[in-house]
C-alpha cells in the first residue's frame, strides 16, 4: 500500500493508483521534504473543525489561511455552489455578463458604503493586488499624469506573489530569489513593529504614528509627481499581526491626499469581518481610494478576489471613446459564476448570523484569552485586534523560526489544534463563528504546546 492509502486519505480506488503518493505535488510555501516526511493531511471539515484522514478533529485556530470566516462547509454556501455549477457553469466576463456578478457587485458596494462605487473581480488576493496597482497607473494616465509610475509599499508587507505584489511587498525571503526581476520603481516605508516600545500592547499601539512621516521623506526623494500609489495592509497579517499604531493610517491618508497619491489598502485578510466591521478600513476609520479583498469574500469556498474603487476612479477611465475597452485587464475567471454564487451565499450567512460584527463583539474576550499566555516560556510579545492575534516567541540561538515551526507541528499532532507560524511568530485568526469555549480550548492547548517546547 502506498503512503496516502496507508493514511486513509483517499477513496480506496484512488489510493490504489500506483502513482498516488506524496511526491508529485510541489506544495506552495511549504517545506516540501519536511512535510512529506511528516504529512499533516486534512480530509474534511465542518464548522470549527478539520478532520484528519483517521477522523481526528482539529480545532481550526486560523480559519484555514485567514479565510474561512463563516466556518467550514456551511450548507447554504455549499448548496449555492452546487446549484450554480448545474445552472451556469461558466460565463465569460469579457464583453458578456451574468446576473449574479451584477447582483454581487451591488451588494458589495452597499456593504462598503460611500465613496466606493465599483468592484473588479479577480481569482486571488495576488491578482487583486496586481489589478489595483494597474488600476492606479491607468487612473493617473487617464487624467494626464502618466508619469506617476512609482509605488510605495512597506517593509514586512505581504501583497501576494505576482510581480507587482512581490515588488511592493516587504518580505526579504519572498523577494530575494526574484530580486533582479521586480518592478523597477518601488520604494518602501519602514514597518511599524517595535517590541522595545510596543510589546504586549492590546489593540492599536500608542507609539509609532510618526513612522508614517517617512512617507514625506520618500516624497521628497522621488517627487510626488512620480508616485502613483502607496499600498499597505491596514493590519499586516502574514508577517505576524502587526497592528497599526494609533494615528498612523490617518497620517498616511493625509499625506497621500495632499500629494495626489492614491492610497491602497490590501484588505485580503482584514475584510469580511476579521477585525470587527465588514471591512478593516471601517473599523480603523481611514478610507482608502482602492482596496483589495479575497479570502473571506466567499469564506474561501471558490477562488475569488476583488478590487473596490472609490467614486472618480472608474469615471476617469470612462473618457475613452465609446465602444473602446477602457481598462485592458481581466481574467478568464473574473466573476466566475460559482465564485459569485458562493459570495452571495456567504454574504447571506454573514448577515443572517451577524458574523461581520462578531469579531468586534468577541474582541475583548479574545484579547484577554490571548494575553493570558504572557509569562509562558519564550513569549516575548502578544498582540491582537478583532479576531486576529499573534504570540511572538524568542528565537532559538542560531535557528530562527525553528521554535514557532515546532509549535505548529506539535499543536497539530499533540493538541489537535491548527495554528500558523511566520518566523518565530504564532498567528491565530479563528473562523468568526468561534464560541468562547473554543477560544478557551485554543489558548489552553497552545499554552501546553509552549510549555513543551525547548
Ligand X SMILES: Cc1ncc(COP(=O)(O)O)c(C=O)c1O
Q: Are strands 227-232 and 262-266 parallel, antiparallel or unpaired?
A: parallel
Instruction: Name residues contacting ligand X, limited to 251-270 (CB under 6 A).
Output: 266, 268-269
Q: Could you tell me the three cell numbers for 148?
A: 506617476
In sequence order, the 6+-apart residues with CB closer than 8 A to the CB of 344 are: 80, 100, 103, 104, 107
**DSSP conformation letters of 24-72:** S---TTS-HHHHHHS-----EEEBTEEE-TT--EEEESSHHHHT-TT-B
Q: What are phi and psi of 257, to 5 degrees?
A: -60, -45
Residues 237-269 as b/e (b if ≥16 CB within 10 A, e otherwise) read bbbbbbbbbeebbebbbebbeeeebbbbbbbbb
CA–CA gap between residue 316 and residue 314 (Å, rounded):
5
Q: Does 290 bind ligand X (CB under 6 A)?
A: no
Site for ligand X in 356-385 (CB under 6 A): none
Among 49, 50, 116, 158, binds ligand X (CB under 6 A): 158
Residue 331 or 365: which CB sits closer to ligand X?
331
Distance CA 167, CA 229 (A): 13
160 binds ligand X (CB under 6 A): yes
What string marks each residue from 221 to 240 as x (binds ligand X by CB under 6 A) or -?
A: ------------x---xx--
**Cell numbers linked to 130:** 496586481
Closest approach, Cβ 277 to ligand X, in A, equals 17
Q: Which is nearer to ligand X, 159 or 358 (CB)?
A: 159
Q: Which residues pair with 72 in a beta bridge?
A: 47
Peptide bond into 115 cis (omega under 30): yes
If we measure between CA atoms, which residue out of 125, 100, 144 comes closest to residue 300? 125
DSSP designation for 390: E
Minimum separation from the CB atom of position 93 to ligand X (A): 19
294 is an interface residue for ligand X by CB under 6 A: yes
Pick 211 or 268: Cβ nearer ligand X: 268
Residues 151 and 306: their CA atoms lie apart, in Å, by 20
CB of 231 to ligand X, least distance (A): 10
Kindly indicate which of the ranges 154-162, 207-215, 249-257, 308-316 contains the residues binding ligand X, using the contact rule CB under 6 A. Answer: 154-162
Q: Does 429 bind ligand X (CB under 6 A)?
A: no
Q: Give least dist CB 330 to ligand X, A.
A: 17
The residue from 159, 193, 251, 336 that contacts ligand X (CB under 6 A) is 159
Do the Cβ atoms of 296 and 273 come closer than 8 Å? yes
Residue 242 or 450: which CB sits closer to ligand X? Answer: 242
Using the rule CB under 6 A, is 164 a contact of ligand X?
Answer: no
**Calpha distance 212→299 (Å, rounded):** 32
Among residues 77, 129, 211, 446, the one that binds ligand X under rule CB under 6 A: 129
Give me the least distance between CB of 124 and ligand X, in Å please.
4
For cell 456567504, the residue is 346
Q: Which stretch binds ligand X (CB under 6 A): 158-166, 250-258, 378-386, 434-442?
A: 158-166
In the complex, the smallest distance separating the C-beta of residue 139 from ligand X, rounded to whole angstroms, is: 20
Residue nearest to ligand X (CB): 125
Residue 298 near ligand X by CB under 6 A: no
Question: Least distance from C-beta 125 to ligand X, angstroms?
Answer: 2
Q: Which is nearer to ligand X, 236 or 379 (CB)?
A: 236
Interface residue with ligand X among 52, 118, 126, 204 (CB under 6 A) is 126
Q: How many CA atoms lie within 13 A of 270 on its CB side?
A: 29
Which residue in the block uniquely carries the three cell numbers 497619491?
261
422 forms bridges with which residues in the sheet?
A: 425
Q: Taking CB under 6 A as the rule, which mask of x and - marks residues 84-123 in contact with ligand X?
A: ----------------------------------------
Q: Is 125 in the site for ligand X (CB under 6 A)?
A: yes
Q: CB of 422 within 8 A of CB of 173?
A: no
Shortest spacing between CB 238 and ligand X, in angstroms:
5
Q: With the C-alpha atoms ordered 402, 407, 408, 413, is the resulting torsion angle positive or negative?
A: positive
Taking the complex as a whole, the smallest distance from the CB of residue 240 to ligand X amounts, in Å, to 12
Binding-residue total with ligand X (CB under 6 A): 14
Q: Which residues bind ligand X (CB under 6 A)?
A: 124-126, 129, 158-160, 233, 237-238, 266, 268-269, 294
Amino acid at each position: 500500500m502506498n503512503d496516502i492509502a496507508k493514511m486513509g486519505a483517499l477513496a480506496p480506488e484512488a489510493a490504489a493508483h500506483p502513482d498516488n503518493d506524496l511526491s508529485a505535488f510541489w506544495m506552495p510555501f511549504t517545506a516540501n521534504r519536511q512535510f512529506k516526511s511528516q504529512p499533516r493531511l486534512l480530509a474534511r471539515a465542518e464548522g470549527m473543525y478539520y478532520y484528519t484522514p483517521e477522523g481526528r478533529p482539529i480545532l481550526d485556530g486560523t480559519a484555514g489561511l485567514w479565510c474561512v470566516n463563516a466556518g467550514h462547509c456551511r450548507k447554504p454556501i455549499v448548496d449555492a455552489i452546487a446549484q450554480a455549477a448545474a445552472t451556469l457553469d461558466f460565463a465569460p466576463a469579457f464583453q458578456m455578463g451574468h446576473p449574479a456578478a451584477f447582483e454581487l457587485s451591488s451588494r458589495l458596494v452597499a456593504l462598503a458604503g460611500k465613496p466606493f462605487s465599483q468592484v473588479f473581480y479577480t481569482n486571488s488576493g495576488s491578482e487583486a493586488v496586481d489589478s489595483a496597482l494597474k488600476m492606479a497607473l491607468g487612473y493617473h494616465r487617464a487624467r494626464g499624469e502618466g508619469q506617476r509610475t512609482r509605488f510605495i509599499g512597506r517593509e514586512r508587507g505581504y501583497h501576494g506573489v505576482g510581480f507587482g505584489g512581490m515588488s511592493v511587498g516587504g518580505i526579504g525571503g519572498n523577494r530575494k530569489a526574484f530580486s533582479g526581476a521586480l518592478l523597477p520603481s518601488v520604494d518602501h516605508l519602514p514597518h511599524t513593529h517595535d517590541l522595545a516600545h510596543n510589546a504586549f500592547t492590546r489593540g492599536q499601539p500608542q507609539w509609532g504614528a510618526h513612522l508614517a512621516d517617512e512617507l514625506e521623506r520618500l516624497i521628497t526623494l522621488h517627487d510626488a509627481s512620480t508616485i502613483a500609489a502607496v499600498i499597505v495592509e491596514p493590519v499586516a497579517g502574514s508577517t505576524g499581526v502587526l497592528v497599526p499604531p494609533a494615528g498612523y493610517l490617518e497620517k498616511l491618508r493625509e499625506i497621500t491626499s495632499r500629494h495626489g497619491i492614491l492610497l491602497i489598502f490590501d484588505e485580503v485578510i482584514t475584510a469580511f469581518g476579521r477585525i470587527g466591521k465588514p471591512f478593516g478600513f471601517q473599523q480603523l476609520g481611514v478610507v482608502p481610494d482602492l482596496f483589495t479583498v479575497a479570502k473571506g469574500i466567499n469564506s474561501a469556498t471558490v477562488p475569488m478576489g476583488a478590487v473596490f474603487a472609490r467614486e472618480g476612479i472608474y469615471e476617469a477611465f470612462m473618457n475613452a471613446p465609446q465602444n473602446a475597452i477602457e481598462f485592458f485587464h481581466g481574467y478568464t475567471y473574473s466573476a466566475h459564476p460559482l465564485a459569485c454564487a458562493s459570495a452571495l451565499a456567504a454574504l447571506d450567512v454573514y448577515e443572517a448570523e451577524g458574523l461581520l460584527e462578531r469579531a468586534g463583539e468577541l474582541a475583548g474576550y479574545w484579547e484577554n484569552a490571548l494575553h493570558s499566555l504572557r509569562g509562558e516560556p519564550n513569549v516575548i510579545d502578544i498582540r491582537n485586534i478583532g479576531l486576529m492575534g499573534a504570540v511572538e516567541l524568542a528565537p532559538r540561538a542560531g535557528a530562527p523560526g525553528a521554535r514557532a515551526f515546532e509549535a505548529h507541528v506539535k499543536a497539530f499532532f499533540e493538541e489537535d489544534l491548527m495554528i500558523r507560524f511566520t518566523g518565530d511568530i504564532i498567528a491565530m485568526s479563528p473562523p468568526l463563528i468561534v464560541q468562547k469555549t473554543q477560544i478557551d480550548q485554543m489558548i489552553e492547548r497552545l499554552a501546553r504546546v509552549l510549555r513543551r517546547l525547548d
